[in-house]
Amino acid sequence: MRFSLFPRRKFHNVTEITPEILRELGVELLILDVDNTIAPYKTLTLEKPVTDWAEGLKGAGVSLFIVSNNKGERPEIFAALLGIPYLKRAGKPSPRGVREALAVTGTAPEKAALAGDQIYTDTIAANLAGVQMLLVEPIKFTNPFLAIRYFFELPFRREKR
């Protein structure tokens, strides 16, 4: 796969990523970003639509794996809620965490995708690790910095042609 800052697919919300879409893309392992992808910053719970969505994917045979840059307790809490493995302090845009998820699950890069909300961390990490990037809109802008970063991401917030 050639390096690109453009995502493979783009979604408003992570729950729009269905088992059918993943099957179409050949994805068996979906790696999840935490902050602003499955939950807004700082919350300690997951909304029911998100837990229902995750259960649906697992039921369809998709493996889930949290790879987060978060240093706090949220990756672990959410992983426990969903009953999936996790890795925190992943250091995205480094591909290290994504590669570790591939290694732990024994998944080939082309059979994996990363669902995340950021271009300059998630998309770069996915690309460097050779997995497909599924970009979602950030759930919530909690501070002005996030809105500024989003502005600089806009050129890349479209589906790869």
Contacts with Mg ion by CB under 5 A lie at: 33, 35-37, 117
Task: Report in angstroms how near the CB of residue 81 gets to Mg ion at its nearest.
Answer: 17
Query: In angstroms, rounded to a whole number, what is the distance separating the alpha carbons of residues 155 and 40?
Result: 23
Residue whose C-beta lies closest to Mg ion: 35
Residue number, 35 or 75, with CB nearest to Mg ion: 35
Residue number, 94 or 110, with CB nearest to Mg ion: 94
Task: Report in angstroms how near the CB of residue 67 gets to Mg ion at its nearest.
Answer: 11
Residue number, 45 or 108, with CB nearest to Mg ion: 45
Task: Report in angstroms how near the CB of residue 84 gets to Mg ion at its nearest.
Answer: 17
